[in-house]
Structure 1
Amino acid sequence: MGKAKKAICIWCMIVLATGCASQNGETADSKDLERTEKRVMMQPDVTNAAEGKKGEAGKEPKELQPVTVTVIDPMTNKVIKTIVPDELGFGTAGEKYKAELEEWAKELARGTDDAPGYDQRNTPDKLDENGGIIKGAPRVVLEEEEFVEKMLDASKEGGEVELPLYMTASGYKPEDAAHLDEVVVASYTTHFNPGVAGRTKNIELSAEAVHNVIIGEGDYFSFNTTVGPSDEAHGYQPAEEAINGKLVMGIGGGICQTSSTLFNAVDQLGVDYVEKHHHSVTVGYVPKGRDATVSYGGKDFRFQNTSGAPFLLKSVIENGKLTIEVRTSRQYEAILKKGV
């Protein structure tokens, strides 16, 4: 009995030991599996990451667009030119870039041999035979310095630049036009030989061109712009004219008598001279030093009306005499006579 009990006890211990071993084995496997699952969940998806990198690398990089500046004509809204400042030295050769802009501004304003500039002298208004106004053209100026500054500012980030064009209309009131011939405030007369047909015709044509011209307050007057070309196409004839100290035959000879007569008339008022030239020879129709020679496309007679009031030019030809009068309304007579 004692041995049997001992054997039974030993068998039970073996069974219990086996059961415990089995339970411990299952627990270890479960923990290992759990740790493995956690490691898998925490491990980055190498495949997806690689694909992501490949996708980014496969994209085309955005190309940086250069800064551009477009110049616009405000009168027509047309593009004059588009430039890339960096290609012209902006940011690397600043002074050179500015100098190029200044030269371009000068060409745009004053023109070149191949193209006219934006700067335009005004063509004065005139009165017709019935006192109506014949419109001329305003003065146009492209402000070169302002254009360069605008271009420099726009060159930083790009954009559009409008040409800084300024137009100035004649400085008189339309309602004053009908009264500008009321009083004569200045006049001057020169003489010529009416028997010399060509010269007489040229004086008549040029005098007619300045007849009834309105010169407003602050207006600029250009003889060449007002009279126009003195060539055969406009009716001018051969006559003596002074060239390089000699009297020679040329188309339009005689128009300088008109410009000189005009000078001596307006010189009695408060005007500022912009351009005036003497002949290369002494002329007989005005005292020495009182002439104003002109040549279309060359020398001009120009002045600005700084008298403080508008006035009207009148030209009268009769019996070999050319008279140019400066007239105005009674309202402005006292203002103009201050300069007489």
Structure 2
Amino acid sequence: MKTLITTICMAAVLANYSAEITLMMQGQLLLTFNKQMLVKKIIDDSFVNWGAVENLTEDVDERISQPSENAIINDQGIIESGKPGIQLDRQVFKEQLVAKLFQNQFDQQLDVPINRVYPKVDSELLSTISANKIGYYITYFNSRNKERSVNIEIATEAINNHVIFPGETFSFNEVVGERTMEKGYKRAPIIVKGELTEGVGGGICQVSSTLFNAVDRAGVHIIKRYSHSKQVKYVPPGRDATVSWYGPDFTFQNRYHHPLLIQAKARNGAVVIQIFSSEEIEVKHKQTPDASKQLPDEMKREPS
């Protein structure tokens, strides 16, 4: 289709390229523009400006796109259904748009073509993979350290309900994202080159370390895991997983034949992470030591 249109463009003068086109979506006005913005003149002839068409397509897609929402398990343990999203059907849109340029009409209208984007995780899948707990780990923190507690809670919520499909790799940094004050993270103690200092997001290494021990118990294949330069108190020696946005990441791969579900909570001074999957999964469990329930003395500069 595009090849045919291109051939026509190189041989014909566009009709009424000063007319306007109105874009509509589901009966609502989206955008009105002049045909001339999609046309370029070469000597006495007018041709489609494919760069402008591509830019307009990108702009319309950004305006209308709505991401799908996966099904989740809420705080009451009830499965909430996911929601489909929408995105522009780019190829159909460009074909219809260019066809409008050749129509000898004024005040043209184009209903924007959209595609439904269905969630990757629906209620049926979530029901299937939440039936069998294959790994878990609990660590403890001093809830009186408010800044650090807030950071732990935000990071824990970021990984909660995350599903890793067979063959997929989980990256803590990718899933949690950059730790910024705009996201609610606070300045709290972190360890840098063996020294205690302050940084935005201090404390989230307890979340990554708890997750590491939970998936390790479930026999999940660990790809990257780095220890702190100084021993931390919330996990046994050598059982931590340090992370930093511009530095180390914690990653693992699901080599099982079934999806894995992360359920993570941080409440009342405890980080609880559980790994679930289907009843059919064959797990190679691994024995790991539990974390100490003894909390360190309350300190403003508590290790991350």
1:312-335 superposed Cα distances (whole Å, 9 cap, x missing partner):
32125589874533312315x35x
Match of 2:31 among 66, 80, 88: 80
Counterpart Cα distance in 2 of 1:325 and 1:190: 12
1:135-191 superposed Cα distances (whole Å, 9 cap, x missing partner):
555454435455434322332227544434333232345345445332134567778
1:109-152 superposed Cα distances (whole Å, 9 cap, x missing partner):
34xxxxxx444444433212443233555454435455434322
Q: Which deviates further from its counterpart, 186-195 or 137-146?
A: 186-195
Report 1:1-340 matches (<5 A). 68=19, 70-75=21-26, 77-85=28-36, 88-89=39-40, 92=45, 94=47, 97-110=49-62, 117-135=63-81, 137-157=83-103, 159-175=108-124, 177-185=126-134, 196-211=145-160, 213=161, 215=163, 236-240=185-189, 249-255=198-204, 257-258=206-207, 293-294=244-245, 310-316=259-265, 322=271, 324-331=273-280, 333=281
The sequence identity of aligned pairs, in percent, is 24
Question: Of the two structures, which has the highest relative contact order with CA contacts closer than 8 Å and spacing of 6 or more?
Answer: 2
2:173 and 2:243 in contact (8 A); partners too: no
One-letter code of the match for 1:215? V
- In structure 2, the gaps of 5 or more residues are 1-14, 287-304
CA positional deviation for 1:79: 3.4
- In structure 1, the gaps of 5 or more residues are 1-63, 111-116, 271-275
Counterpart secondary structure, 2:70: coil
TM-score (norm 1): 0.50
2:17 and 2:39 in contact (8 A); partners too: no
2:72 and 2:126 in contact (8 A); partners too: no
2:179 and 2:245 in contact (8 A); partners too: no
Which structure's residues are more often strand, by fraction?
A: 2
Which structure's residues are more often helix, by fraction?
A: 1
TM-score (norm 2): 0.54
Counterpart Cα distance in 1 of 2:111 and 2:172: 32
Quote the RMSD (CA, aligned, Å): 5.6
One-letter code of the match for 1:106? E
Counterpart secondary structure, 1:89: strand
Counterpart Cα distance in 2 of 1:100 and 1:118: 18
